[in-house]
Amino acid sequence: VVGLTIYKVKQRQSEVLRILDGNRLKYQLVDVSLSESLLQEMRDKVGKADAVPPQIFNGNEYCGDFEMLYEATENEEVKKFLKVAAVDRVGKNVATI
């Protein structure tokens, strides 16, 4: 996304955490700002050379970006978006990149 400010990225990351916490999901944060290789790995997994955080994964499986998670939240389909069964929600790890 062209023109996405650091503030906007941080704001979106906070919203992702709020959604995950609200659904009582465990997650692992990966800070891609720590190294160029982490950023490139995220972009490779997403399949877009210009992908920006936050990107959401369930393990190594790509779920989508912030806009997709936000839409799933509005439609009350967060668990479907994250590929998490309701009974397994506490045991799953969702990595947010």
Whether this model's pTM surpasses 0.85:
no
Model confidence pLDDT, tens digit, residues 19-55: 999 999 999 999 999 999 999 999 999 999 999 999 9
Measured distance between the N- and C-terminal CA atoms of the chain, rounded to whole angstroms: 16
Residue appearing with tokens 């590929």: 83
Residues 6+ apart with CB under 8 A from 26: 90, 91, 92, 93, 94
Q: What is the pLDDT of residues 49-74, one digit of tens each?
A: 999 999 999 999 999 999 999 999 99
Q: Is the pLDDT of residue 93 over 60?
A: no
Inform me whether the pLDDT recorded for 88 exceeds 90. Answer: no
Q: How confident is the model at residue 5 (pLDDT cuts 50, 70, 90)?
A: confident
